[in-house]
Structure 1
Amino acid sequence: MKKLFAAVLGMALAVPAFAQMSPVGLWRNMDDKTGEAKAEVRVTEEAGGLKGSIEKVLKKNANPADVCAECSGDRKDKPIVGLEIIRGGKKEADKDVWSGGKIIDPENGKEYRASFTPTEGGAKLEVRGYLGPFWRTQTWQRVN
């Protein structure tokens, strides 16, 4: 009985550590130019792929009623708060990297291929957007 309890306890303690090395959670992204917080993005995993939506806008002087005027398709003129900016992305075998997804920049409406890599024990998330052979990486902070 003690061995069973120890095994169950060990698995229960390992699950939160494993969950931290995932892009799933609430993240704060920062402005590349000013270093100020821009938004909080909630990332979930559905049907084996990632989905991320803006939960809160943190920019100074942001209007909560703003819409994504530059977006196209089903995101055109949708409110920024609640806007789905991440679609797809699956975990690569034997790596803590989710790739094959897309991310949209609501400021200009451009969509980029994307990868997501948890770092520092899951406290940070490297979000890399690709356009052709070029890329840009942002580091997001996990919100507790």
Structure 2
Amino acid sequence: MKNIFLALLLILICSFKNIASTNAEKIVGKWMALEDNNLEVEVYKTGNEYRAKIVWFDDSDDKSRPMAERCDTKNPDKKLCTGKIIGLQVMQGLVYNADDDEWHGGQIYDASSGKQWNAKAWLTTDGCLKVRGYWHLEFMGQNICFKKVQ
């Protein structure tokens, strides 16, 4: 009887761990910014952290400079200013917290300003991925909402 109880307990613990892992993976994939539909990022997992890179952006503001040729010219690290915007890692360090079903502890990079911010992310009930960029204090920040495209 004791062995059956222990086996059931072990199965239950493993099930909860798998559920938490599944929830954590929900942000993996390609996401389109909702505000202007002008930015698509791909969120992926590396080790225990989640990162995102730019896979597409609207370059209609200056047709003489196509998307594939644009570089990270605003980067404060001059060695990185020649790096392409496409493929640029813009989010890193997010770690899933099952207790509040959110991703915390990350940084987000804004290539248009060259600034890096603290970041957290969560999924809304309608499937929107909200990413909040802030400077030290969460209430002093901005959200951007993404819809999954794949």
Q: TM-score, normalised by structure 2?
A: 0.73
Q: Equivalents in 2 of 1:96, 1:21: separation in Å? A: 11
Q: 2:122 touches 2:129 (CA, 8 Å); kept in 1?
A: yes
TM-aligned CA deviation for residue 29 of structure 1: 1.3
Structure 2 spans left out of the alignment, 5+ residues: 1-14
Is residue 2:62 matched to residue 1:66? no
Structure 1 spans left out of the alignment, 5+ residues: 1-10
Q: Equivalents in 2 of 1:95, 1:52: separation in Å? A: 21
Aligned length: 125
Match of 1:4 in 2: none
Is residue 2:78 matched to residue 1:98? no
Tell me which of 123, 128, 148 is aligned to 1:124.
Answer: 128
- Per-residue CA distance 1:36-59 (angstroms, 9 max, x = gap): 212110000111001110011134
How does 1:47-86 map onto structure 2 within 5 Å? 47-61=47-61, 63-64=66-67, 65-73=69-77, 75-86=80-91
Match of 2:11 in 1: none
What residue identity is the alignment partner of 2:40?
Answer: E
Match of 1:7 in 2: none
Identical-pair percentage: 23
TM-aligned CA deviation for residue 76 of structure 1: 2.8
Q: 1:39 touches 1:59 (CA, 8 Å); kept in 2?
A: no
Which of structures 1 and 2 has the bigger CA Rg?
2
Q: 1:37 touches 1:59 (CA, 8 Å); kept in 2?
A: no
Match of 2:42 in 1: 42
Q: 2:73 touches 2:82 (CA, 8 Å); kept in 1?
A: yes
Q: 1:23 touches 1:116 (CA, 8 Å); kept in 2?
A: no
Q: Equivalents in 2 of 1:106, 1:80: separation in Å? A: 8
Q: TM-score, normalised by structure 1?
A: 0.76
Q: Equivalents in 2 of 1:101, 1:132: separation in Å? A: 12
